[in-house]
């Protein structure tokens, strides 16, 4: 059993879901020079309908190995329905999905999971990871 690639979710008021390596564990195992992180903050559509949540952001990041065609090492997501969002990515990460595979996937609009396949801001670039519009 490969315990690294088991999807995990913490069911708190703002849910957290993950599959694969954390950023810190990936750096420790593969080296910081070999790791890239794509990330983004965004406001989920369902939160825009509530005054209580419309000022909060969700967040997602994908950690890749730059030396292996940007093979995805981990996906992390904080936002609504984290378990549902991450479950579909578990098999993909286990089977060796790459960043390019994600980028070539047409997301279901408008969903939070779509934000994972739309990631294009590299953490190393220093660019703002805040959301653009639809």
Indicate if the pLDDT at residue 79 is higher than 70. yes
Does the active-site annotation cover 76? no
- Report the percentage of the chain scoring pLDDT > 90: 81
The active-site residue out of 39, 55, 76, 109 is 109
- Name the helix (H) or strand (E) containing 115: helix 114-117
- Other beta carbons less than 10 A from residue 22's beta carbon: 13
Instruction: Give the per-residue pLDDT at 131.
Output: 66
Task: Delineate the domains of the chain, giving CATH numbers in brackets.
Answer: 3-124 (3.30.390.30)
Max mean pLDDT range (3-12, 65-74, 85-94): 65-74
Instruction: Give the per-residue pLDDT at 55.
Output: 78
**Candidate from 1-5, 94-98, 102-106 with smallest mean pLDDT:** 1-5
Per-residue confidence band for 1, with pLDDT thresholds at 50, 70 and 90? confident
Indicate if the pLDDT at residue 134 is higher than 60. no
* pLDDT tens digits, one per residue of 100-120: 999 999 999 999 999 999 999
Please state the rounded mean pLDDT for residues 34-61: 90
User: For residue 69, what is the DSSP state?
Assistant: T
Measured on CA atoms in the order 112, 118, 124, 130, is the torsion positive or negative? negative
């Amino acid at each position: 059993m490969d315990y690294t690639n088991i999807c995990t979710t913490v069911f708190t008021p703002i849910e957290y879901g993950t599959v694969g390596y954390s950023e810190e564990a990936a750096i420790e195992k593969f080296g910081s020079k070999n790791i890239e992180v794509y990330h983004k903050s965004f406001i989920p559509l369902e939160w825009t309908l509530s005054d209580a949540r419309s000022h909060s952001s969700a967040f997602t990041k994908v950690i890749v190995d730059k030396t292996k065609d940007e093979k995805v090492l981990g996906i992390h997501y904080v936002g609504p329905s984290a378990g549902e969002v991450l479950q579909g990515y578990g098999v993909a990460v286990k089977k060796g999905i790459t960043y390019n595979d994600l980028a070539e996937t047409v997301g279901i609009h408008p969903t939070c999971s779509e934000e994972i396949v739309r990631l294009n801001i590299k953490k190393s670039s220093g660019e703002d990871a805040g959301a653009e519009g639809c």
